[in-house]
Amino acid sequence: MLKDTPEEWPVTETGTPFTGRKTGVRSDHVVMPDGSTATRDYQVHPGSVAVLALDEEGRVLVLRQYRHPVRHKLWEIPAGLLDVPGENPLHAAQRELYEEAHVKAEDWRVLTDVYTSPGGSDEAVRIFLARELSEADGERFEVSEEEADMEVARASLADLVRGALAGDLHNTCLVVGVLAVQAALAADGGLDALRPAEAPWPARPFAA
């Protein structure tokens, strides 16, 4: 079975030429296997969570939001940053589902873990599957900036899979999430065989 393994090549020099509000850029001088040194610039990211919320009718909760770097409005699934180092990713996912869709879920499982762009960023994302959905208690979370223009809908899993394969849907977490759910449904044990919500996440270790 194929499995990714941790490894770290020597770094002779490092710097941080840019630090933003949530992320930064690091520049490392890395020793290559042949003894040469190469410079690798990459985004330093706190990590993220995303939620594939699947209702009893087999529909996925999706959001449509403007993303300035790509100049598109993208259909996505609820997602957000880990607010603090060591934050429990399940708690972060529950927060994002509430804030972006005013929804809560009773059944949570880990769908998959990904590095979004490992050649240029250390961002790690844990995508959860959430089921047994209902409206969250209390008032809706007050949104601002791009989220103030956000649309919320529910789409069939089949339509989302078709859209991903046709090149009509591009958001990483949505595409990975719907294809992963489709694969899990076809595997032995189905969705109930997925990892528990508190499964370890070596890319972003957290306290239980």
Can 147 be counted among the known catalytic residues? Answer: yes
The first and second tokens of residue 109, run together, are: 């499982």
**C-alpha distances in Å from residue 159, one per residue of 126, 135, 163, 168:** 23, 24, 6, 11
Which residue in the block uniquely carries the two structure tokens 């990459």? Answer: 42
Catalytic option among 57, 99, 147, 198:
147
From residue 45, how far is each of 7, 48, 138, 141, 193 by CA, in Å? 19, 8, 32, 25, 30
For the chain, how are helix, strand and coil distributed in percent, rounded to 5? Answer: 25, 40, 35
Compute the chain's Rg from CA coordinates.
Answer: 18
Report, as residue numbers or ranges, the catalytic residues. Answer: 147
